[in-house]
Structure 1
Amino acid sequence: MRNLSCEARSLINVRVKTRDKIELACDVYLPPDESRAYPVIVSFSPYNATGGRNEGGLVWVRRGFAYLSADCRGRFKSGGVFTPWVNEIADAYDLLDWIAAQKWCNGNIGMVGGSYVGFTQLAAAAGGHPALKAVAPSAIQSELYSTYYSGGAQALAFMAGWHIGMTQRRAATDPSPNWEEILKKSPPSKFDEYAGIPCPSWKDIVAHDHHDAYWRKNTFEGRLRGSKVGFFLQNSWYDHIGAKVFSMFNEIVNSPGFSKSALKKYTCLRVGPWGHGVNMKEGELDYGPEAMVTEDPEVDFLSSILQGKKPRTAQNPSRLQIFVMGENKWRFEDEWPLARTEWTPFYLGSGGHANTSNGDGWLGRDKVETKKCATDSFVSDPENPVPTCGGRGVGNAGQRNQSEIEKRNDVLVYSLPPLTEDMEVTGPVTMKLFASSSSPDADFAVKLVDVFPDGRPFNVCDGILRARFRGGLDKKPELMRPGTVYELDIDVDVTSYLFKRGHRVRIEIAGSNFPHYSLNPHTGQKPGSDTGMQKATQTIYHSSEYSSCIILPVIPAARSCRNPKKNEEGTK
């Protein structure tokens, strides 16, 4: 045991055995008084959690808590082999079981951290250890399929390099793979080979491109329903793994006995205008001083619950807090989606040439009445894909100027006239698209855009659908018949955004969004393993028979602000 200048006692590289005899490496920081037992804060991480002075842990010690940081199995000083998502439920339970048995633990444990360190908290909550009382995960969701796939298209820009790289034990002097170049190669199933890092679990992920038994085995969907802990959840509008956080939140708060539970009833969710992490700035727009938050509510939540007190968040008007971009204000809401939502369709129309922002595409509030089938077409070339520009991601994410994207002839653009009054869009955005392709498979990428009065277009949210999954992501894929018109329902993500008066609402439709999503080779073969590629002509239909439209969750202006009271806890 070391004494850190009397501010804490430390136990370094403590070995905790799991049920299968793997040793997890832990560092423990304890308050100086050895006569007491303490509530414990835990960080269970794959990101080198042990071996150095942990300033964050010492902060918790000064607050009167014990603190333990542990390396996940197969990472840094821990034994075993690291396979993302697979062992954490059992390992977290065994780790908590060991902590609870220590004389310096008073039987009350909380956990903290974001990204994968948030995932390990969900694993611990799903495991159900009775000593775990509260967790504060951020930048995470419980549904793993949506971490790697969206609309059946594989997320590549960050996830490929992260997943493959995390499974390798390499020295600091080893050269890092050039992921920018690797992502340009095909097929994705061989990315680990191109990187020189054999990774069987990556090949499994590529092979399972729809929501089948593989994903149901390794997901937390449904497993948090029975948890008894309090959750302080945080996520972001532009976090690459944030789209399903509302589903996780709803699962927790709608679980049986929620309102009568001792701790779980304190569960709350805060969603801000950030990237992958709380206060992580992304994009080109400034959301004002209120966008940045303090950790005070999170610290109070954990501290209070572990000490048998009611957290201050229980005094908030409701348990859901969202940041409305454009208005740049925080607001409390009672549910998601909002009960007062007006689901409003805006219909596509054109003179047949909606290509580029200089085309003749438009959006209208009324259906196109003519039975004559108006169409717009573009050629999608996987050798020259539409590049990713903003959106959900890690780096180069957020809201970004789409002007260069809209110059491309393979991007269709449809715009409303300038708004005569503000319009708030808060909730899930969906697209009903009638389309055909010259190929047996195609991707349709949709982007909701805010066009400023000076003409600059900024993305708000986006989504994609690989047409072979039009029957459902949990169904086996079905190829298209070239030239046949299909009705496609596309998830265009969730948002909370105020389109201001004088701005224009715009939709972009393209055949790719790369490298955010994997390329569709248009051959009809499995995209993850096919090395061939060919061009395809994609056609969008808009008529009285084929009413292609974007459906926006419009919040009535008179009641848009449920609670105008400023939230002093959630903002600086």
Structure 2
Amino acid sequence: MVITRCFLFLALVSLLQAQIEVAVESNIMVAMRDGVKLATDVYRPAGSTEKLPVILTRTPYNKNGAKKQGEYFAQHGYVFIAQDTRGRYTSEGVWHWMTDDALDGVDCAKWITSQSWSDGKIGMLGTSYVGGTQHAMALAQAPGLATVIPVDAVSNCGVQSMRNAGAFEMRFWNWIMLNSGKGSNTAQDPATGAVLKEMADNRLNYLANLPLRKDTMPLKLAPEYEDWLINAMRHGANDEFWKQNNILDHAYDYKDIPVFLVGGWYDSWAGNTTSNFRALTPVLKSDVYLIMGPWIHGAQAKSAHGMVDFGDEAAIKDELAWRLGWYDHTLKGKASPFTTKVRYFTMGTGDGHKTDKDLLYHGGEWHDVKEWPPAGTKPVNYYFGSDGALSTQKQKGTSSYTFDPRNPVPTIGGNISSGDGIMVQGAWDQRGGAHVWNWLNPLPLSSRNDVLVFQTEPLTEDVEVTGELEVKLWVSSDCVDTDFTAKLVDVYPASKDWPGGFDMNIADGICRARFRDSLKEEKLMEPGKVYPLTVRLYPTSNVFKKGHRIRVDLSSSNFPRFDVNPNTGEPLQQHRRIKTAINSIHHDAEHPSHIVLPVMKR
């Protein structure tokens, strides 16, 4: 792997530089424009009087956790700064989801560039929310900001990964349940923190009692967290409420600096990572790089995710060394160790044996290209048929099923983060068990009556699918609103190691019918009327091997990955009623429902 090979020399240098002493100034209270002070730690090479470039991380997860990175970059000739974001841990102020991080980031940058040890150049580091604080500063044109490496980063929240085509990703409900009692202002009081922890420990019970209503549960003790969650769960439209970090609609606001985007096929922000690359590349004069691996959220150093092993080459072994190479190039003018703008991992070239850790060996290999999606793919329509067929030939008929919101289809793996305790991440056999709290029996999801299964015959040759994925549906319902979900599955045949086969999830998605025409405006359905609707899945690169089947599961729920639609048409997350729906997928000549697969020819 190029990222590993390029930095063997840097790793050797690191052994020598690890002996450099680091000086740390802790809890410097840096004033923002409104007088709120944010706690900041500064790591510097001890005794150095040289002006140096700065690596900055702004985090809601406790700056004390950045000690390893701080020492590493200080030992390699940088000043490293870790700052608690507003209202978190030792910083003053009131926490809000991302909306303060643009101006706070600008004020932090002004403070950094005014310091005697700063050469005026700032690079940023961080994953998830901490990747989002990078995007926030870039969109705000922060002074001195010279490069960012947003990994699995918060962006485009009204499009996908928070509001997902109108549905709400419940991992953020889980994030609030966990973090309102950890690092918040309220949690500084031990007794109150204990109450919030008890709430978090019992959150599976709270899941059964949605929607959330103000002042009705212990979350009221952390009002800023309760307020944000209630508003976020009720606000489906992609409008001003979700403006912060909306790169897709505001790419021209992004500072013209080198950007290195990092994502994973099973990461919760994967669709936005590739979308941001496509949005920023034609706008910025500076280089935009992209790497996509077979990873779950924040786990680039690992090669196995869920029940599946992708091979040792899938992992980035030294996560700091490759970043150092990027910073040395963009902040110090050294030669770039990167020879290609896009690097992606194609899953599925393994033989499917069971490893010594009882994982499916799916394998894979890296590819270096100039663009995303890569050249050489051809969109191929695979049509749904009433007999469960999935074929490149158009089908006929209609498939109907009953969707009961009281018994939603359970989530088994997928593009998830912050799901601790309520969901598992990554690639899993689509079968229940002790790891799935709401599907404990070892039954395949395909056995459910509310899941429509469409699959090809066993493939006569390998089929590589690489790129963005969409399912085009023609749908109807006897309700005024409902959801439609889709999941792409790689079906392994029965083998000695897997006598029952293995149904491996590749990508999934959802569309809330009231947002079928626009993400900005709600429009209820007329019962019985047929409507076109698109389900956007997360991107991928996977080889469906000879003898496997390509499968698509269609339904109306995927819980708790997404909130459950009560089918009543009431305002989002304010319903008092629940209605069972009869939903239909039309797949005749006039309504050719299908999945569009970007098939790669090598």
- TM-score higher than 0.5 here? yes
Q: In the alignment, what sits opposite 1:469?
A: 515
Give, as a single letter, the amino acid of the residue that structure 2 aligns with 1:522: N
**DSSP 3-state at the match of 1:345:** strand
Query: Does the 8 Å CA contact 2:235/2:572 hold for their aligned counterparts?
Result: no
Whole-Å Cα distance in 2 between the matches of residues 166 and 409 of structure 1? 37
TM-aligned CA distance change 1:522 to 1:341, over 3 Å: same
Q: In the alignment, what sits opposite 1:570?
A: none
TM-aligned CA distance change 1:187 to 1:477, over 3 Å: same
User: How far 1:216 sits from its partner (Å)?
Assistant: 2.8
Whole-Å Cα distance in 2 between the matches of residues 540 and 112 of structure 1? 45
Q: State percent identity of aligned pairs.
A: 35
* Structure 2 residue 270 is matched with structure 1 residue 246: no
Q: In the alignment, what sits opposite 1:151?
A: 165
* Structure 2 residue 352 is matched with structure 1 residue 307: no
User: How far 1:512 sits from its partner (Å)?
Assistant: 0.5
**DSSP 3-state at the match of 2:469:** strand
Query: Does the 8 Å CA contact 2:490/2:551 hold for their aligned counterparts?
Result: yes
User: How far 1:180 sits from its partner (Å)?
Assistant: 2.0
Q: 1:398 aligns with which of 426, 430, 446?
A: 426
**DSSP 3-state at the match of 1:182:** helix
Whole-Å Cα distance in 1 between the matches of residues 66 and 556 of structure 2? 49
* Structure 2 residue 103 is matched with structure 1 residue 90: yes
Q: Alpha carbon RMSD of aligned pairs, Å?
A: 2.1
* Structure 2 residue 306 is matched with structure 1 residue 283: yes
User: How far 1:206 sits from its partner (Å)?
Assistant: 2.1
Deviations 1:35-86 (A, max 9, x none): 3222211111111104x78122111111111111111011111111010111
User: How far 1:337 sits from its partner (Å)?
Assistant: 2.4
Q: 1:387 aligns with which of 401, 404, 410?
A: 410
Q: 1:419 aligns with which of 455, 459, 466?
A: 459
Q: In the alignment, what sits opposite 2:119?
A: 106
Whole-Å Cα distance in 2 between the matches of residues 535 and 53 of structure 1? 49
TM-aligned CA distance change 1:379 to 1:462, over 3 Å: same
Deviations 1:372-394 (A, max 9, x none): xx222211111111101111113
TM-aligned CA distance change 1:122 to 1:24, over 3 Å: same
Deviations 1:450-483 (A, max 9, x none): 1102132111101111111111212x21111112
User: How far 1:183 sits from its partner (Å)?
Assistant: 2.0
Give, as a single letter, the amino acid of the residue that structure 2 aligns with 1:361: G
Q: 1:183 aligns with which of 197, 202, 207?
A: 207
User: How far 1:181 sits from its partner (Å)?
Assistant: 2.0
Q: In the alignment, what sits opposite 1:271?
A: 292
Query: Does the 8 Å CA contact 1:232/1:298 hold for their aligned counterparts?
Result: no
**DSSP 3-state at the match of 2:243:** helix
* Structure 2 residue 562 is matched with structure 1 residue 517: yes
* Structure 2 residue 152 is matched with structure 1 residue 139: yes
Residue pairs, 1:366-385, within 5 angstroms: 366-368=393-395, 374-385=397-408
Deviations 1:136-174 (A, max 9, x none): 120114312223111211111x21121455454314652
Whole-Å Cα distance in 2 between the matches of residues 401 and 526 of structure 1? 35
TM-aligned CA distance change 1:14 to 1:194, over 3 Å: closer
- Larger mean Cα displacement after TM superposition, 225-234 or 184-193: 184-193
Query: Does the 8 Å CA contact 2:452/2:553 hold for their aligned counterparts?
Result: yes
Query: Does the 8 Å CA contact 1:182/1:194 hold for their aligned counterparts?
Result: no
TM-aligned CA distance change 1:55 to 1:456, over 3 Å: closer
Whole-Å Cα distance in 1 between the matches of residues 555 and 385 of structure 2? 16
Give, as a single letter, the amino acid of the residue that structure 2 aligns with 1:347: Y
Query: Does the 8 Å CA contact 2:25/2:43 hold for their aligned counterparts?
Result: yes
* Structure 2 residue 407 is matched with structure 1 residue 361: no
User: How far 1:6 sits from its partner (Å)?
Assistant: 7.7
* Structure 2 residue 234 is matched with structure 1 residue 207: yes
**DSSP 3-state at the match of 1:312:** coil
User: How far 1:307 sits from its partner (Å)?
Assistant: 1.2
Whole-Å Cα distance in 1 between the matches of residues 174 and 164 of structure 2? 17
Query: Does the 8 Å CA contact 1:183/1:191 hold for their aligned counterparts?
Result: no
**DSSP 3-state at the match of 2:74:** helix
Give, as a single letter, the amino acid of the residue that structure 1 aligns with 2:206: I
Q: In the alignment, what sits opposite 2:383?
A: 347
Unaligned ranges ≥5, structure 1: 259-263, 351-359, 560-572
Whole-Å Cα distance in 1 between the matches of residues 587 and 484 of structure 2? 15
User: How far 1:402 sits from its partner (Å)?
Assistant: 1.4
- What is the TM-score when the length of structure 1 is the normalising length? 0.88
Whole-Å Cα distance in 2 between the matches of residues 365 and 47 of structure 1? 48
Whole-Å Cα distance in 2 between the matches of residues 241 and 192 of structure 1? 31
Whole-Å Cα distance in 1 between the matches of residues 249 and 453 of structure 2? 39
Query: Does the 8 Å CA contact 2:24/2:43 hold for their aligned counterparts?
Result: yes
Deviations 1:211-236 (A, max 9, x none): 12222356344545341221122111
Give, as a single letter, the amino acid of the residue that structure 2 aligns with 1:427: G
Q: In the alignment, what sits opposite 1:354?
A: none
Give, as a single letter, the amino acid of the residue that structure 2 aligns with 1:181: N
- Larger mean Cα displacement after TM superposition, 177-186 or 18-27: 177-186
Deviations 1:330-349 (A, max 9, x none): 11122222333211111111
Deviations 1:272-310 (A, max 9, x none): 111111235532111011110132322200122211223
Query: Does the 8 Å CA contact 2:414/2:425 hold for their aligned counterparts?
Result: yes
Q: 2:194 aligns with which of 156, 161, 174?
A: 174
Whole-Å Cα distance in 2 between the matches of residues 245 and 428 of structure 1? 12
* Structure 2 residue 485 is matched with structure 1 residue 436: no
Whole-Å Cα distance in 2 between the matches of residues 24 and 310 of structure 1? 36
Give, as a single letter, the amino acid of the residue that structure 2 aligns with 1:462: D
User: How far 1:250 sits from its partner (Å)?
Assistant: 1.8
Whole-Å Cα distance in 2 between the matches of residues 191 and 493 of structure 1? 36
Q: 2:344 aligns with which of 322, 342, 361?
A: 322
Query: Does the 8 Å CA contact 2:270/2:539 hold for their aligned counterparts?
Result: no
User: How far 1:432 sits from its partner (Å)?
Assistant: 1.5
- What is the TM-score when the length of structure 2 is the normalising length? 0.84
Query: Does the 8 Å CA contact 2:109/2:143 hold for their aligned counterparts?
Result: no
Query: Does the 8 Å CA contact 2:453/2:553 hold for their aligned counterparts?
Result: yes
Give, as a single letter, the amino acid of the residue that structure 2 aligns with 1:284: M
Query: Does the 8 Å CA contact 1:125/1:224 hold for their aligned counterparts?
Result: no
**DSSP 3-state at the match of 2:537:** strand
